[in-house]
Amino acid sequence: MTFSLQRRGLAQIIALLVILAVDRIVSPQFFDLRLQDGRLFGSLIDVLNRGAPVALLSLGMVLVIATRGIDLSVGAVMAISGAIAASLADSHGVPLAIAVALGAGLLCGLWNGFLVAVLGIQPIVATLILMVAGRGIAQLITEGRIVTFTAPDFVWLGNGAVLGVPVPVVIVLGMLVITGAVVRGSALGLLIEATGGNARASELAGIGTRAMILAVYVWCGLCAALAGVIAAADIMGADANNAGLWLELDAILAVVIGGTSLFGGRFSLVLAMVGALIIQAMNTGILLSGYPPEFNLVVKAAVVLIVLLLQSPRLASAGAALWRARS
């Protein structure tokens, strides 16, 4: 029962279905799929493909938030890893480039985790440091230019397909399975939820809360680095100014839409993924509808509000009372 969708996931699933239905109205071809050169194409595939970076970020973010933390630096970490991978890909080979990029992500996570778990700095402040500094580091790596590359193996990561499914989607699914297996297959999930629910009590129950908090930030850094690699592969270059810009907010939003409280405790990996899909389905729908993209932000805000209202226990009880009063 690794990925059981509990009743609490209902609001998210309904929201996703409603948004997909609206997408279908604004764009009648939304659900059309076609196979071309061994790869599936279509708006639905676009949603999955474009949503991959935020989905990866949410996968790390959900664990961090479950420990009652937050990681604001993931967008900057994307920029760093993208810059490293793009700079090294043509000169040192793709495997090494990606390994170094992912290693940088691990280091970034270690830094955040050190500040939070060992020095006890508040997560929002601790990760703000790297959020600001990280983009500067990325610009130093690219020397302020947009670094492009041509290594076909790298380009494949962004544009290739496995059995018709785009590679970024495959990577997200792979990471979801790995994270799920690690978190729910071991005792980590329970211990993370305990730490997020009550860190003092967890410490007194003999849980090594520091090591665990360190570990979730490291994992979050790794996920962010992977997202950065995919984003670079997608545009065949690294743009230190814009890669992953504001995506940390989308990732936090995806986690919150997925029902994980910013106060820590209970979390759901799968629902965080659904949250990421909800965000991307909206983005894609607005693009397809032909409205100017500026609307995107406003519509996004409205939809987020609705999803959060659907989850609100206070609203639910008020609604139930209203229902009783009518009948």
Partner 1 sequence: MNASPDPGPALLEVRGLSKSFGALQALQEVDFTLRAGEIHALLGENGAGKSTLVKVVTGVFDRDTGIVRLDGTEVVARSARAALDAGIATVYQEVNLLPNLSVAQNLYLGRQPTRFGLVRDAEMRRRATALLAEFDLHIDVAAPLGSYSVAVQHITAIARAVDLSARVLILDEPTASLDRHEVEILFAVVRKLAARGIGVLFVTHFLDQVYEICDRITVLRNGRLMGERTTAELPRIELIRMMLGRELAETTSARAAERARPVRQVCARFEGYGKAGYLSPFDLVLHHGEVVGLAGLLGSGRTETARLVFGAERADSGRALVEGQPVRLQSPRDAVAHGFGYCPEERKIDGIIAELTVRENIVLALQAKRGLARPLSRSEQDEIAARFIKLLDIRPPEPERPIGLLSGGNQQKALLARWLATAPRLLVLDEPTRGIDVGAHAEIIRLIRALCDDGLALLVISSELDEIVTYSDRVIVLRDRAHVDQLQGDAIDVSNILAAIAAGSVVGAETVQP
Cβ atoms < 10 Å from Cβ of 116: 26
CB of 119 to partner 1, least distance (A): 17
319 scored as a contact of partner 1 (CB under 8 A): no
Amino acid at 99: A
Which range touches partner 1 (CB under 8 A), out of 6-14, 63-71, 192-200, 216-224? Answer: 192-200
* Cα separation, 129 vs 73, whole angstroms: 8
DSSP strand pairing (237-238 vs 147-148): antiparallel
Whose Cβ is closer to partner 1: residue 306's or residue 321's?
321
* Cα separation, 252 vs 266, whole angstroms: 15
201 scored as a contact of partner 1 (CB under 8 A): yes
Whose Cβ is closer to partner 1: residue 15's or residue 207's?
207
Choose which of 27, 148, 159, 198 interacts with partner 1 (CB under 8 A).
198
Whose Cβ is closer to partner 1: residue 153's or residue 203's?
203
Whose Cβ is closer to partner 1: residue 163's or residue 204's?
204
CB of 187 to partner 1, least distance (A): 4
* Cα separation, 160 vs 154, whole angstroms: 9
205 scored as a contact of partner 1 (CB under 8 A): yes
**What sign does the CA torsion over 245, 15, 312, 263 have?**
negative
Tokens of 193: 């939820």
CB of 194 to partner 1, least distance (A): 5
Choose which of 28, 120, 144, 206 interacts with partner 1 (CB under 8 A).
206
118 scored as a contact of partner 1 (CB under 8 A): no
CB of 200 to partner 1, least distance (A): 5
CB of 195 to partner 1, least distance (A): 9
3-state percent helix, strand, coil for the chain, nearest multiple of 5 = 75, 5, 20
Contact, 272 vs 255, CB < 8 A?
yes
Site string for partner 1, 147-186 (x = CB under 8 A): --------------------------------------xx
Whose Cβ is closer to partner 1: residue 138's or residue 269's?
269
User: Distance between alpha carbon 217 and the CA centroid of its chain, in Å?
Assistant: 14
296 scored as a contact of partner 1 (CB under 8 A): no
Cβ atoms < 10 Å from Cβ of 200: 9
- Range 207-266, binding partner 1 (CB under 8 A): 207-208, 265-266
Tokens of 112: 């955040």
> What DSSP letter does each residue of 220-272 carry, written as one string?
HHHHHHHHHHHHHHHHTEE-TTTTTTTHHHHHHHHHHHTT--TT-S---HHHH
Binding site for partner 1 (CB under 8 A): 1, 185-188, 190-191, 193-194, 197-198, 200-208, 265-266
